Chain A
Amino acid sequence: MKVVLPLRWLRGGALLALAAIVAVPLQAGGAGEAIYRHGILPSGAPLHAAREQGMRLEGEVAACVNCHRRSGLGMIEGHVSIPPVAGSYLFHPRAATGDDLDLPFVAGMRADRDPYTDDTLARAIRQGIGADGRPLDVLMPRYDLDDAQMAALIAYLKELSPGAVPGVTDSVLHFATIFTPDSDPVARQGVLNVLTRFFEDKNHFTRAQSPRLRSSRRLRFKVNRHWELHVWQLEGAPETWDAQLRAFLHAQPVFAVISGLGGRTWEPVHHFCEAEELPCLFPNVDLPVDNERDFDTVYFSKGVLLEAELIAHALRAADAGPGPHRLVQVYRSNDVGAAAAARLRAALGQEEGWHVDDVGLAATGTHAALRSAVAEAHAGDVLVLWLRPADIAALGPVPAGVHAVYMSGRMGGLDDTPLPEAWRASTHMAYPFDMPAHRTVQVDYPLGWFRIRQIPVVAQQVQADTYLACIILSDTLNHMVDTFVRDYLVERIEEMLEHRILTGYYPRLALAPNQSFASKGGYIVHFSPGGGKQVVADGEWITP
């Protein structure tokens, strides 16, 4: 884009108005947003910036979002405080302390600074000179932006200012939880029981009866808001979910989606949250959407996709000698095992000497069909079972001479899998959780909480994860004080999660920008000899 206008003559509003006409329509979401989030100029060319001594930045790595985050509220990294750049934090009048500012608290905010003007802000972005005339931190690059591009960016920063957030009122925080129609009805009730009771407890302890405390100019008090849970129960085919979700959100805006339960696919929900920029926190799903560039949904783990990667890792590590080796995968075509099988096939496809045969069973296939599918594995082959407990219980004889059997722990029921006795000696299970002995103390806490509140444990891991999701949300909101900004909620979880000591079924949880899966690994386990449910790790924790 060439703007052949004497833009430098123009100032303030005139410039902004012109930028709005010239630049904004060129990029979906606005020219300023494209610069800020993606490092892309309205022409489609990459954003350019420089640091001292000829160090140049270009495109995505130069984008403001890397440091100032999508919320524009900045972050703290080590001793480095990245200040908020959302407009109200730049243009506020000078104040003696942060408490004099009528702005939601964020860690890097500065009160005792002259307000930026459009001109001094442009100078800061181009030349790295702050409102007070001093050089900015070495981390801040100097950007090559022409006047129109600068105006678009500044207009965007002004838009970023925290304002009214849908789902947040003076007295209520609205949350939704989402259940897909194909989610397991028993587990669904288990999840709902945990959520309902957590919200009840939360509200019981907020001093709803006492006079509400309000923020004032001099004193910053946290307003105790009532938490309200809305259950979004989807119906029908996945193609129709998006419209249903939009209708739910329209009828009752929510601040975030918490937990929930999926079945064969979560994809429409994931994309809905991404499109609406609605935080979707730790849904219980076997098959998440594996795109770490997406921002709004964070998962506990990569589910069955992680299991596929764990099995691929184990097969590589086993080093079965020169191939060809044959691997037979059995799954129901309508279940999440199909995607897991595809992931394992892709992972082994990069290896020499592996031949993978997939046997997809129809949704309604009989046990006879299941047994003949399993019998596709011959002597020396590796057999992988992506099957639910009902199918696992109905397995026939172990194929003669089969080299090894792997099964999905998440799908097959983990320690409680009904795997027939004859299979136990030769079967390894992908186990993307901490070992039972290690997690006892961790899981005792939610189990005690369930017991005291008489919540039946019907799906222990899913319910423990639900409780953990609630605790993470609650802790994060407490740290956010009253800065209710959806992006900021996700960012604070990304930054704080690693500090958690109680992490439920997982040995450790950690996120960061561009990370969507909090637990990164798992074990491959086998069954202890002599029967019983006890599983034993084949080796160390694997992060494939």
Chain B
Amino acid sequence: MTERDPNSTQGRIVMRDANWIRAMAMLAAAMLVSVAGVRAESADEHMPAAPRAREPAVTSTSVQYVVPDVTLVRQDGKSVSLPHEMNDGRPVVLNFIFTTCGSICPLMSQVLGQFQRKLGAESQHVHLMSISIDPEEDTPPRLREYASQFGAGPGWNHYTGTLTASQQAQRAFDVYRGDKMSHTPVTLLRAAPGQPWLRLDGFVTPDQLLMHYRHLTGAR
């Protein structure tokens, strides 16, 4: 419920402060206990840390998803069936993006682009799929423009469609978070139709993605 009488929100803010005061009281009570911990933490903060390449936290899980029977619209304007696009025999790498996304999607798309280039000639045999989570804004021409910005090769398709179709696809792969600004970086890989999906949560690097891909398709 977002509709409110103008006065009620005032109450809400005050409530927040009341909570805060309670929290402060509790904090004060817990002071003796927590001091040691805090000190340890801040000491750690001051440790001279040698700059190192940050290892992004990526979790991988193997999951069975049922590909929903929805119709999407590809960047070339053609209406296509999602299962049909996915089950063309090639291994699939799937992610969810939107073209006006400022931070997460550009990095994910850049990783996919780099991954495709690293595959070289083999890239023809891997199907990269990016489905828009903002399909009302992301028309096929916008998807084409976005794809070219990341140097998408022939094996990489972008999809839009109705809001419902996009949300069905997002739900089927458990990436639907209610609105586009709440999305999280997820990359999904599948060696072949019928096989489980490898779900990678977090920012994978192109090399990590390649490693997972090799592992998955090698073990097929």
Contact = CB atoms under 8 A, between A and B. Distances in A.
Given A52-B53, A499-B2, A502-B2, A139 B103 contact: yes
Contacts of A521: 136
Contacts of B4: 471, 475
Contacts of A57: 110
Interface stretch (B122-130, B174-182, B190-198): B174-182
Nearest to A309: B139
A80 interface: yes
B17 A220 contact: yes
A512 B137 contact: yes
B177 A78 contact: yes
B118 to A, nearest CB: 9
Interface in B1-60: 1-7, 9-10, 12-14, 17, 20-21, 42, 45-46, 48-49, 51-54, 56
B10 A512 contact: no
B137 A478 contact: no
Interface in A95-138: 99, 112, 127-129, 132-138
B100 A508 contact: no
Interface in A498-530: 498-502, 508, 510, 512-515, 520-521
Interface string A212-252: 00000001111010000000000000000000000000000
A11 interface: no
Given A474-B9, A481-B13, A512-B137, A78 B184 contact: yes
A55 interface: yes
A502 B2 CA distance: 7
B114 A512 contact: no
Given A77-B103, A222-B10, A475 B2 contact: yes
A interface, size bucket: 35 or more
Contact of B182 (A78, A135, A513): A78
Contacts of B42: 112
Contacts of B104: 77-78, 80, 139
Nearest to B201: A79
B205 interface: yes
Contacts of B102: 66-67, 69, 75, 77, 513
Nearest to B117: A54
B181 A498 contact: yes
B100 A501 contact: no
A471 B163 CA distance: 25
* Interface majority SS (helix, strand, loop, mixed), chain B: loop
A276 interface: no
Contacts of A77: 101-104, 181-183
A499 B3 CA distance: 11
Contacts of B10: 205-207, 222, 224
Contact of B162 (A128, A129, A502, A540): A540
Nearest to A514: B100
A438 interface: no
A290 to B, nearest CB: 14
Contact of B134 (A54, A134, A202, A510): A510
B51 A133 contact: yes
Given A133-B51, A135-B52, A66 B103 contact: yes
A53 B106 contact: no
B206 interface: yes
A395 interface: no
A375 interface: no
Contacts of A543: 135-137, 139, 162
B70 interface: no
Q: Which of B4, B103, B107, B139 has the most CB of A within 10 A?
A: B103
Q: Which of A76, A198, A219, A520 has the most CB of B within 10 A?
A: A520
Contacts of A221: 13-14, 17
A53 B115 CA distance: 11
Contacts of A75: 102-103
Contacts of B45: 112, 132
Interface in B149-181: 149, 162-163, 177-181
A61 interface: yes
B98 interface: yes
B213 interface: no
Given A52-B205, A66-B102, A502-B3, A78 B183 contact: yes
Given A132-B49, A510-B180, A520 B137 contact: yes
Interface of B: 1-7, 9-10, 12-14, 17, 20-21, 42, 45-46, 48-49, 51-54, 56, 98, 100-104, 106-107, 110-111, 114, 134-137, 139, 149, 162-163, 177-185, 203, 205-207
11 contacts: A75-B102, A77-B103, A77-B104, A205-B7, A478-B12, A500-B2, A508-B136, A512-B100, A512-B180, A540-B162, A543-B162
Given A53-B205, A543-B135, A543-B139, 19 more contacts: A53-B206, A55-B110, A57-B110, A77-B102, A77-B104, A78-B181, A133-B49, A133-B51, A135-B51, A135-B52, A135-B54, A219-B21, A478-B9, A481-B13, A500-B2, A501-B2, A510-B137, A512-B100, A543-B136
Interface of A: 51-55, 57, 61, 66-67, 69, 75-80, 82, 99, 112, 127-129, 132-139, 198, 201-202, 205-207, 219-222, 224, 445, 471, 474-475, 478, 481, 495, 498-502, 508, 510, 512-515, 520-521, 540-541, 543-544
